[in-house]
Amino acid sequence: MRVVEPRSLTRSNLVYREPALYDELLADTSITADLMAFASRHEANVRTVLDLGCGTGRLLAELHGHGFTCTGIDLQPDLVAWAERTHPGLRLAVGDLRTVRLGDTFDLVTSVGNSLSYLHTEIELAAAFDTIRAHSHPGTLLTIATLTAPAQRTRLQRCDDLTRRRNRHDDLRVGSAHSDLDHRPQLVLRHRSRRARHHAPPLLEHRTAL
Ligand SMILES: C[S@@+](CC[C@H](N)C(=O)[O-])C[C@H]1O[C@@H](n2cnc3c(N)ncnc32)[C@H](O)[C@@H]1O
């Protein structure tokens, strides 16, 4: 399985380096109300929650405030350390949601806020579901909130169109981006290039899998 360096995740995103900013930008925690409504709709007696890819622990903290016993794991040690300092009532650990085994089961397992979007292959997704199974007992509820490739592609295409429009007026540095859905692995591939002038060879080209 692909080795994911926590530091590369941290480097990839400003808000992972600035967890307070992350929480400020994502202050909407209404998904926790959805989680509780989901549990009550299924008449489940949920007391314990495991969040896979819990980030700053913002959602767990809110659930904890409603009386749930909350556990979270995340790959990034700095985020986990920050969550531990900020929300002392949570049980947190550094771990990879593809492989972590806590030796316990939970009434509700969640992975929200697109944490599963970081998994790029069927094997990685299957490993995540093995983790979910390992932490479930009969009656455990599962909630996943993540972008699927076609939705992500539509969103990126809109960003790409905006970039193109902005660049039409900028003949010094021209950037273009184009997103494609690779159907077999279900990955969105984003091609980007930067040129000094319209017909100049690219200064920089890269392709990202999302
Ligand atoms: C966009 S954040 C969402 C965080 C949180 N669920 C929320 O809604 O605020 C995605 C999180 O997934 C974590 N993550 C990505 N790959 C992971 C993995 N293999 N194991 C554990 N956490 C992972 C990242 O470190 C990051 O904190």
* Residue pLDDT, tens place only, 145-174: 887 666 665 666 665 555 555 555 444 455
193 contacts 167 by C-beta, under 8 angstroms: no
Q: Express each pLDDT in 23-45 by its tens digit.
A: 988 888 889 999 999 988 888 89
71 sits in which H/E element: strand 69-74
Looking at per-residue confidence, does 11 or 109 come out higher?
Answer: 109
**Residues above pLDDT 70, as percent of the chain:** 70
At 177 the pLDDT is 63
What pLDDT does 140 receive?
95
How many angstroms does the Cα of residue 139 sit away from the middle of ligand 1? 25
**Triad 20, 15, 27: Cα angle to 5°:** 50
Counting from 1 in the atom list of ligand 1, the atom nearest the Cα of 79 is: 27
- Does the structure show a pLDDT above 50 at 70? yes
**Contact status, residue 46 vs residue 39, Cβ threshold 8 Å:** yes
The CATH class of the 6-144 domain is alpha beta
Which residue, judged by its Cα, is nearest atom 3 of ligand 1? Answer: 113
Give the Cβ contact number of residue 176 at 10 Å: 15
Structural contact between residues 80 and 74, judged by C-beta atoms closer than 8 angstroms: yes
- Residues in the ligand 1 pocket, defined by CB under 6 Å: 4, 9, 26, 53-55, 58-59, 74-76, 79, 96-98, 112-115, 118
Residues near 17 by Cβ (< 8 Å), separated by ≥ 6? 10, 11, 78
Mean pLDDT over the full length of the chain: 82
Pocket test for ligand 1, best of 15, 74, 125, 146 (most atoms within 8 A of CB): 74
Beta-carbon contacts of 97 under 8 Å, excluding residues fewer than 6 positions away, are 52, 53, 73, 75, 111, 115, 116, 128, 131
Given pLDDT bands bounded at 50, 70 and 90, which one contains residue 8? confident
Q: Tokens 């490739």 belong to which residue?
A: 149
The segment(s) of the chain belonging to CATH 3.40.50.150 are 6-144
